[in-house]
């Protein structure tokens, strides 16, 4: 009976040691999670972001969530590495598509985007231009031309 208790104690010590090692290693490795456009710029704002090993700013680009293969966060190096399923994708740029238009704002899914330079074309459901919005809504709505983009 004593022999059995000693073996159980050794077994629990081994399991505890293994769990301690796993906990330590999981804290050191890069984290991986599914794509969300809002989480990375806010929670990892001071991290460098790379798209297919090229440095980018997620404030100026919107990616198609269906084209994201993986996102890895390395907290020690303060880097975010995003890998796409298809690397050679087409981008929509409001500045290139409408070079003569001066938009009051670019609105994506109801939110104003100030620094946006391009959107992965596969993420776009529809694009429309709203001119002289004061006539459509109310006198307090700002006057101007708005680019409205709806995402899939």
Q: Which residue has the higher pLDDT, 119 or 141?
A: 119
Q: In this predicted model, which residue has the larger pLDDT, 146 or 20?
A: 146
Close Cβ partners of 70 (under 8 Å, ≥ 6 residues apart): 32, 81, 82, 83
Sheet holding 91-92, edge to edge: 61-62, 118-120, 91-92
User: CA-to-CA distance for 38 and 92, rounded, in angstroms?
Assistant: 20
What average pLDDT does the segment 24-32 reach? 47
- Of residues 103 and 25, more confidence is placed in 103
Higher pLDDT, 110 or 37: 110
The angle subtended at Cα 54 by Cα 49 and Cα 56, nearest 5°, is: 45
Q: How far is CA 25 from CA 20, 44, 71, 99, in A?
A: 9, 21, 19, 51
pLDDT at 54 over 80: yes
C-beta atoms surrounding 50 within 10 Å: 15
Judged against a pLDDT cut of 80, whether residue 21 lies above it is answered with no
Q: What is the pLDDT of residue 29?
A: 43
What 3-state DSSP class applies to 58? coil
Residue ranges covered by each domain of the chain:
31-89, 91-151
**What pLDDT, on a 0 to 100 scale, did the predictor assign at position 88?**
86
Share of the chain above pLDDT 70, in %: 66
Q: Is 139 a residue whose pLDDT tops 70?
A: no
């Amino acid at each position: 009976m004593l022999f059995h208790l000693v073996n159980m104690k050794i077994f629990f010590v081994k399991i505890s040691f293994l769990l301690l090692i796993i906990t330590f290693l999981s804290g050191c490795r890069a984290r991986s999670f599914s794509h969300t456009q809002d989480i990375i710029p806010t929670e990892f704002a001071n991290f460098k972001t790379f798209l297919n090993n090229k440095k980018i700013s997620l404030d100026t680009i919107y990616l198609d969530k269906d084209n994201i293969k993986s996102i890895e966060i390395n907290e020690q190096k303060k880097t975010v590495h995003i890998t796409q399923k298809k690397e050679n994708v087409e981008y929509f740029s409001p500045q290139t598509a409408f070079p003569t238009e001066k938009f009051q704002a670019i609105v994506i899914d109801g939110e104003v985007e100030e620094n946006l330079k391009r959107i992965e074309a596969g993420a776009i459901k529809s694009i429309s231009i709203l001119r002289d919005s004061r006539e459509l809504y109310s006198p307090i709505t700002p006057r101007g031309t708005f680019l409205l983009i709806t995402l899939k």
